């Protein structure tokens, strides 16, 4: 029974989060500052959720840092996502073997 309640609450919250902005913002937002703020929110939230997970996923800060550095370098040079992910995993694995 509690799972059904959890799912109902989750559905209600998800609906409210998606419908409330349409209720309050019926016209196009003209403020350049506010539009740029809203543009960067998904990137900020994704970073805030991902970065801690990266550093606590391996159990060692050295291996996590090695994978992160590899991923940042490859993504800076425009490598495809699968290449970045596999290379970061390989770098973390190799760093774990070395350290």
Angle between helices 61-76 and 81-98 (to 10 degrees): 150
How many CA atoms within 13 Å lie on the side-chain side of 18?
Answer: 6
pLDDT value for 22: 81
Answer for the pair 74, 87: CB distance below 8 angstroms, yes or no. Answer: yes
Sign of CA dihedral 69, 87, 59, 98: negative
Mean pLDDT in residue range 63-79: 96
pLDDT value for 99: 87
pLDDT at 10 over 90: yes
pLDDT interval class at 67 (50, 70, 90)? very high
Mean pLDDT in residue range 70-95: 96
pTM above 0.75, yes or no: no
Mean pLDDT in residue range 56-79: 94
Collect all residues with Cβ–Cβ distance below 8 Å to 52 and sequence separation of at least 6: none
How many CA atoms within 13 Å lie on the side-chain side of 41?
Answer: 7
């Amino acid at each position: 029974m509690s799972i059904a309640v959890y799912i109902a609450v989750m559905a209600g919250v998800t609906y409210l989060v998606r419908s409330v902005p349409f209720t309050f913002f019926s016209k196009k937002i003209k403020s350049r500052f506010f539009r740029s703020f809203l543009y960067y929110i998904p990137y900020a939230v994704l970073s805030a959720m991902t970065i801690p997970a990266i550093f606590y996923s391996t159990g060692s800060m050295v291996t996590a840092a090695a994978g992160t550095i590899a991923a940042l370098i490859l993504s800076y040079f425009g490598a495809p996502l699968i290449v970045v992910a596999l290379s970061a995993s390989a770098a973390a694995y190799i760093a774990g073997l070395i350290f």
